Amino acid sequence: MTADPIAIGPLPDMDPAVPAPLPPQPACVQTRAEALLRAGWSPVAGGPGGGEAVLAVSGSALVLTEVATLVVPAGCGAILPADSGSGVMTAADPLSAVVRVPLDEAPVPPVPAVTVASDFARMLAAETTAAPAGDSPRRSAAAGLLREELARGRPGGFTLAEPADLRLGRVTRQIWVTPAAPLTVNEAAALAIMSRRTFTRHFGLQTGFGFDAWQRRLRLLTVVPRLEQGVQVTQVAGELGYDSVSAFIAAFRRAFGTTPRRFGRSAVRASALAG
Spell out the domain ranges in the chain. Answer: 27-159, 165-274
Least confident of 35-39, 207-211, 215-219: 35-39
- Nearest-CA neighbor of 73 among 84, 83, 94, 58? 58
Q: Classify residue 155 by its DSSP letter.
A: B
Higher pLDDT, 270 or 272: 270
Residue 10: pLDDT over 60: no
The CATH number assigned to the domain with range 27-159 reads 2.60.120
The CATH number assigned to the domain with range 165-274 reads 1.10.10.60
Query: What average pLDDT does the structure give for the chain?
Result: 76
Residue 202: pLDDT over 90: yes
Task: For residues 70 and 3, give the distance between their C-alpha atoms in angstroms, rounded to a whole number.
Answer: 19
Residue 37: pLDDT over 90: no
pTM comes to 0.71
Task: For residues 175 and 272, give the distance between their C-alpha atoms in angstroms, rounded to a whole number.
Answer: 32
pLDDT of residue 158: 84
The reply to whether 27-159 and 165-274 are identical in fold is no
Confidence of residue 9 (pLDDT cuts 50, 70, 90): very low
Strands in 61-64's sheet, in edge-to-edge order, are 42-43, 87-90, 61-64, 68-72, 159-161
pLDDT of residue 251: 92
Q: In one letter, which amino acid is 117?
A: A
